[in-house]
Amino acid sequence: MSLEVPIILLIIAIPVYFLSKWILKRLKLGDEKNRKYFAIIPATILSPLLYAGIIMIWIFSISYYPKTDFNKKEWNENKDERYKMSKDIIKSEILIGKTKTEVIELLGTEYYSHDENHMGYNLGFVPGLLNIDPDVLDIYFEKGKVIKVEQRNT
């Protein structure tokens, strides 16, 4: 087992212990001798909770990304950040019913053609904990019209 987690917990527990001891003194609970022992209880309970909270905040912060409305100019200029607009494209269904020519006119000519009924646009790297591959906006056609748009990780 790695020693990193116990050391981090100890680093968190020390200030929690002294803070607990100070709070017990301010509340006039117990005497000086038994406050030392009573302060161990919150330090033992709160330290792992604080550690877990810090980890959750870290995970949330690296996987959060703002979502923006589709803007043709930004789509063409910021190719690595297209993922910010992909949810709006999917949710608003602005591509549904459009022809391949209309889609290319709106999203540009830099697309991947899987076959005549499936094309994809690179969205860039969506922020995430283990995300090392770019996402793609997949557009599916039937009878020459868009029927489905979805985002997938490559």
Between 35 and 63, the higher pLDDT residue: 35
3-15 pLDDT, tens digit per residue, is 687 888 888 889 9
Domain ranges of the chain: 4-63, 72-153
In this predicted structure, the answer to whether residue 131 has a pLDDT above a threshold of 90 is: no
Query: What's the CATH class of domain 72-153?
Result: alpha beta
pLDDT given at position 102: 95
Q: What percent of the chain has pLDDT over 70?
A: 98
CA gap 131, 133 in Å, rounded: 6
Q: Which of 62-66, 100-104, 110-114 has the lowest mean pLDDT?
A: 62-66
